[in-house]
Amino acid sequence: MELLHFFLHLLPSLVPKQEKVCRGPGYFNCPHCGRRQPGELYETVTRRYLGGHGIPLSHGEASGPEVYRCLVCPKEVTAYGHYGYDFGPHARRQTWKCFHCKGEVPYERFDCPHCGYRFQVGGR
């Protein structure tokens, strides 16, 4: 019984732990607010710990999608490829120029609101 107890105590420290690590503050285009907001970038990493002492053996390998937390709504969004979150230190929303009509298009949109031109992402 005592031995089993010991193993149960040891077990969580041998299993890699998934953690959410804050990668710092910045700004991003929040899909819930529909505008650029201050937020924090989180990354899911896998860490291995030494014994039960909480000493991490590695810095952690990224093992999940990035998560942005909006400091205004405040909601968390998981980063998927088809939205321009544009996480970064710049507070101003960026735009891109439509290749077709040269109009300004909000960064998070892949289609032009002026002429309907659609920018293909991800090589599909």
> Up-side HSE of residue 68: CA atoms within 13 Å toward CB?
24
Q: How far is the CB of 106 from Zn ion (least distance, A)?
A: 12
Q: How far is the CB of 124 from Zn ion (least distance, A)?
A: 21
Question: Quick one: 17 or 114, whose CB is closer to Zn ion?
Answer: 114
Binding site for Zn ion (CB under 5 A): 30, 32-33, 37, 70, 72-73, 98, 100-101, 103, 112, 114-115, 117
Q: Do the Cβ atoms of 84 and 93 come closer than 8 Å?
A: no
Give the C-alpha separation, 69 to 60, whole Å: 20
Question: Quick one: 10 or 101, whose CB is closer to Zn ion?
Answer: 101
Question: Quick one: 30 or 45, whose CB is closer to Zn ion?
Answer: 30
Where helices occur in the chain by DSSP H, the ranges are 2-14
Q: How far is the CB of 80 from Zn ion (least distance, A)?
A: 16
Residues listed for the chain: 124
The neighbour count for residue 77, using CB atoms within 10 Å, is 20
